[in-house]
Chain A
Amino acid sequence: MTIKLRYFAWVRERVGKPEEDIELPAGIATVAELMAWLASRGEEYAHAFANPKVIRAAVDKTHVKPQTAIGAASEIAFFPPMTGG
């Protein structure tokens, strides 16, 4: 299954790209598991996802918790806590 990943703010800067398409590896069922897998993909990713507790996620443009199942998601975004307004 191909999923579009999007990164914002310092997550984007650390990963070094705003978005990418990935093949979801077998056995990755939740957003938290996806973050752990991403952290193992190299130095930039390890740096970006070093502290997954501070990273927020959205599945198909809706806020989700880390334990949320990825299901049939087509887009998953990772970003720091929001600072608009």
Chain B
Amino acid sequence: MTVPSIVRLQREPFDAASEARALTRGRTDVGAVVTFTGICRGSEAGEPIAALTLEHYPGMAEAEIERHVAEAVERWPLLGVTVIHRHGRIQPGEDIMMVATASSHRQAAFAAAEFLMDYLKTRAPFWKQVEKADGKIWVDAKATDDAAAGRWASPGGKREAAE
């Protein structure tokens, strides 16, 4: 069975609620939808920011996300997956990205959404730059994000486990 999945990179805003609803439209087998939305905060490391700009590696970003969606579909009994990630300039309060997973029961939907988020953070080629009063600064990667991604590495020797 092919699981319907959508991976979209775009400059424009998206509507997380309607994207999540689309996962259940016209079907009655879905019992759980988990939606995560990443939102641009008005501050970074305690300092106010005017906006952030997301740079990405076109082609590779889509490929990395699609690879991890395929892995999520393999690991959990999912009925649908949607990943949308914006690039370009984003202002505080605006949505940056979303992951939505649909399944018959909540456990698979929660786990797959968290797995996708953890890998997106550390493996999808996106870089955030914030605009502060005194200039533009690239956001540093967090060691806690690497640790979060690491906990999904399976003993079966997935590629990420060794990296």
Contacts and interface: CB of A to CB of B under 8 A. Distances in A.
14 contacts: A9-B127, A10-B138, A62-B63, A63-B163, A80-B138, A80-B141, A82-B121, A83-B127, A83-B128, A83-B138, A83-B140, A84-B126, A85-B120, A85-B121
Chain B interface bracket (under 10, 10 to 19, 20 to 34, 35 or more): 20 to 34
Interface of A: 6, 8-10, 12, 58, 61-63, 65, 77, 79-85
B38 interface: yes
A8 B120 contact: no
Contact of A61 (B57, B128, B145): B57
B123 interface: yes
B56 A84 contact: yes
B81 to A, nearest CB: 16
B128 to A, nearest CB: 5
Interface of B: 38, 54-57, 59-61, 63-64, 85, 96-97, 117, 120-129, 138-141, 145, 163
A9 B55 CA distance: 7
Nearest to B142: A83
B63 A84 contact: no
A80 B55 CA distance: 12
Nearest to B160: A63
Contact of A79 (B57, B122, B140, B145): B57
B72 to A, nearest CB: 15
B36 to A, nearest CB: 9
A67 to B, nearest CB: 12
Contacts of B129: 9
A72 B57 CA distance: 21
Contacts of B125: 8, 58, 77, 79, 82, 84
Contacts of A12: 55
Contact of B141 (A58, A65, A83): A83
A8 B57 contact: yes
Given A9-B138, A10-B138, A63-B163, A84 B124 contact: yes
A3 B100 CA distance: 38
Given A10-B138, A65-B163, A84 B127 contact: yes
